[in-house]
Amino acid sequence: MRICAGSVVASFLETPFVVPWGWMTLGVLLSFVTSIASGYFPARQAAKLDPIVALGRE
Q: Report the alpha-carbon distance of residue 17 to residue 10 in Å, rounded.
A: 6
Q: Report the alpha-carbon distance of residue 22 to residue 20 in Å, rounded.
A: 6
- Position 14 scores a pLDDT of 84
Q: Report the alpha-carbon distance of residue 54 to residue 23 in Å, rounded.
A: 42
pLDDT tens digit sequence for 1-29: 767 887 788 888 888 878 888 999 999 99
pLDDT tens digit sequence for 33-57: 999 999 999 899 888 988 887 787 6
Does pTM surpass 0.75? no
- Position 2 scores a pLDDT of 67
Q: What single string gives the DSSP state of each residue in 19-52? A: --HHHHHHHHHHHHHHHHHHHHHHHHHHHHS-HH
- Position 40 scores a pLDDT of 93
- Position 22 scores a pLDDT of 93
Query: Residue 12 gets which letter from DSSP?
Result: H
The domain spans of the chain are: 20-58
